[in-house]
Every structure is written in structure tokens, then in C-alpha cells.
Amino acid sequence: GQNIDQPTEMTATEGAIVQINCTYQTSGFNGLFWYQQHAGEAPTFLSYNVLDGLEEKGRFSSFLSRSKGYSYLLLKELQMKDSASYLCAVRKAAGNKLTFGGGTRVLVKP
């Protein structure tokens, strides 16, 4: 089976940095995805990691350590529009099937 854990909620201030952690235990691993989901909207793709290390994309970065079963999403220079849920998802070795964590709701305050 698969177990994916991430914090339920985080609060941060506009302009600050927030790090959302995701730990996973899976039978097989073929990549980890981060999605952003605003309230009432569909999830949208943010990042993908399959090798260890940091992937940077503008204000957002994602890190992966396969040996530790650990990833984080780093949001820099927070803006009010970054208030959303952030979903961590793991793909098993075969196919395109994803297993999602419960999501982390981030609230950005002025």
C-alpha cells in the first residue's frame, strides 16, 4: 500500500517563505508531483521530481530525497494569491496512476 503524509494547514505572511513537507511510504516509486488547488477549482500542476535534488521554477521549488521518502515544496515571496491547498502525489513504478496526500491548506496573511 501507500501512505503519504503532509501537514493539514499552514499560515504565513505575505512576502515570507513557506515550506510544505511531504513524506511517503510506497511500494514502488516513479515520481512525485505537487499540485496547487484554489478553493472550488481544479488542481493545477506545479512540479515534478523523479531524481534526488531541487527543481526550481520561479518562486516555487520542489525537493526530493528518495532514500528518505521525503519531498518539500518551497514557496518564496509569498503573495495573497498563493493561498490555496497544495497536494503531494506519488506515482508508482507502473502506469500513470497517482496516489495523493490529504493536501496542505496554506493561508497567506497580509
Partner 1 sequence: DVKVTQSSRYLVKRTGEKVFLECVQDMDHENMFWYRQDPGLGLRLIYFSYDVKMKEKGDIPEGYSVSREKKERFSLILESASTNQTSMYLCASTPWGETGNEQFFGPGTRLTVL
Residues of this chain that interact with partner 1 (CB under 8 A) are 8, 30-31, 33, 41-45, 48, 50, 87, 89, 95-103
The answer to whether residues 75 and 58 touch, using CB atoms and an 8 Å cutoff, is: no
Of 3 and 65, CB closest to partner 1: 3
Question: How many Cβ atoms are within 10 Å of 7's Cβ, its own excluded?
Answer: 15
CB of 52 to partner 1, least distance (A): 15
CB of 57 to partner 1, least distance (A): 12
Cβ neighbors of 101 (< 8 A, separation 6 or more) are: 4, 5, 6, 22, 24, 87, 88, 89
Of 31 and 74, CB closest to partner 1: 31
Of 5 and 14, CB closest to partner 1: 5
